[in-house]
């Protein structure tokens, strides 16, 4: 299971990559693997204000629909429009081509609620036992 070092992670298996004031958001390799083939994704609207740990997207696999929660609070800057026709990018490239959206995050302190790669690795080992 791939867990890149340069990302931060949530307990709900979202990742965030911070580049200055902008954050890229997606779901982890572990999440895409447990969901199976992803067939549909509903992303937030550009300009929408989202709140840490609150609902921001829906991802559907053949078997089920799951909610995705915002890893940080802030404003959505752009969405990955490729995903509407090619949601399989989330399976194929969860950390790059399969990102969900970018956001401008508003509260630096919220980063303390996220896990670093090593913490997330221990966390998923714990839940898969």
H or E stretch covering 79: strand 74-79
In the complex, least distance from residue 19 CB atom to another protein, rounded to whole angstroms: 30
CA dihedral 30, 32, 36, 37 (to 10 degrees): -160
Q: Report how far apart, in Å, the C-alpha atoms of 8 and of each of 30, 38, 62, 82, 111 are.
A: 14, 23, 28, 23, 8
Nearer to another protein, 34 or 106 (CB): 34
Nearer to another protein, 39 or 73 (CB): 39
CA 19 to chain CA centroid, nearest Å: 15
Residues that bind another protein in the complex, under the rule CB under 8 A: 36-37, 39-40, 42, 58, 60, 62-65, 84, 87-88
In the complex, least distance from residue 20 CB atom to another protein, rounded to whole angstroms: 32
In the complex, least distance from residue 66 CB atom to another protein, rounded to whole angstroms: 12
Nearer to another protein, 48 or 60 (CB): 60
């Amino acid at each position: 299971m791939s867990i890149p070092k340069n990302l931060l992670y949530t307990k709900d298996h979202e990742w965030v990559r911070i580049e200055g004031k902008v954050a890229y958001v997606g779901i982890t390799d572990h999440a895409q693997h447990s969901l199976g083939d992803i067939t549909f994704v509903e992303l937030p609207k550009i300009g929408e204000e989202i709140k840490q740990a609150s609902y921001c997207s829906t991802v559907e696999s053949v078997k089920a629909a799951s909610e995705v929660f915002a890893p940080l609070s802030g404003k959505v800057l752009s969405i990955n429009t490729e995903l509407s026709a090619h949601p399989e990018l989330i399976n194929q490239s969860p950390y790059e081509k399969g990102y969900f959206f970018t956001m401008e995050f508003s509260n630096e302190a919220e980063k303390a609620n996220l896990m670093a790669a090593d913490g997330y690795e221990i966390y998923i080992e714990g839940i898969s036992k």
